[in-house]
Copies of this chain bind each other. A is one copy, B any other.
Amino acid sequence: MTPRDPNPRVARRSKDDVVDAALDLLDRVGLPDLSMRRLAEELGVQPSALYWHVASKQELLASVSSRILAAVILRASDPDDLEGAAVTLGRRLRDRLLAHRDGAEVVSSSLALGLVPSPLHEALRHVDGSPAAAVVADAITHYVVGVTFHEQQRRAADAWGAAASEVAVTPESALRPADDGFEAAMALIAGGIAPWRADTERVPGA
């Protein structure tokens, strides 16, 4: 008996429904095939109808990014353990990006456009208020997003066809596959925190 919907047979969509459908379509067809027209078709609606719910495709993808990043939070954490928190969050971010097709690319551009908050920046600010937290959040976020983007593109290329083996770059000069390098890089960055602090926070005022 809500006054909102006088005729329940007319299926009206909310913005959440549109974002749901977009994320679902992303997982099924990938970012290159995720068009407003295709999404509209999926929802049984004209393409122009989408523009009542979202201002642009970019804004829609930003909402999709928010959904993908929603689970990247720190439940409980030792304050003072910036290293531990950074590594945990880095792994969680990677997990979330890998959970959706082309997740890294979608999130990368939303982040770059400033349409979505950086989850590591927000979380690390709570465990450590020092300037170090922001620097660490930056380093880890860019590394994880970059490496996962690289990984997912490679996966898509491999899936599409191994026929491109001649144009592709030799393995030794390409960026490394992240599978084993990921933990190493995380350890490298996290391990840099202590010496960097010793160098930087030595001088309090001037």
Q: Is the CB of B118 within 8 A of A173?
A: yes
CA distance A109 to B150 in the complex (A): 8
Given A122-B173, A146-B145, A195-B195, do A153 and B185 touch, yes or no (CB 8 Å)? Answer: no
A175 contacts which of B138, B143, B146, B185 (Cβ < 8 Å)? B138
Given contact pairs A111-B150, A122-B173, A145-B146, A138 touches B192 in the complex (Cβ within 8 A): no
Complex CA distance for A193 and B116, rounded to whole angstroms? 32
B-side contacts of A174, CB under 8 Å: 114, 117-118, 121
Are the CB atoms of B153 and A113 closer together than 8 Å? yes
**B181 and A188 form a contact (CB under 8 A):** no
Instruction: Tell me how many residues of A have a C-beta within 8 Å of chain B.
Output: 57
Measured CA separation A115–B153 after assembly (Å): 11
User: Given A139-B188, A145-B146, does the pair A115, B181 have CB atoms closer than 8 Å?
Assistant: no
Task: Assess whether A188 is in contact with B136, with CB atoms less than 8 Å apart.
Answer: yes
Does A45 make an interface contact (CB < 8 A)? Answer: no
With A146-B143, A184-B200: A115-B169 Cβ-Cβ less than 8 Å: yes
Question: With A141-B175, A145-B146 known to touch, is A195 a contact of B196 (CB < 8 Å)?
Answer: no
In angstroms, how far is the closest chain B Cβ from the Cβ of A63?
12
**A19-63 to B contact mask, C-beta < 8 Å, 1/0:** 000000000000000000000000000000000000000010000
Judged by a CB distance under 8 angstroms, whether A190 is at the interface is yes
Residues of B within 8 A of A192 (CB): 187-193, 195
Closest-CB distance, A187 to chain B (whole angstroms): 6
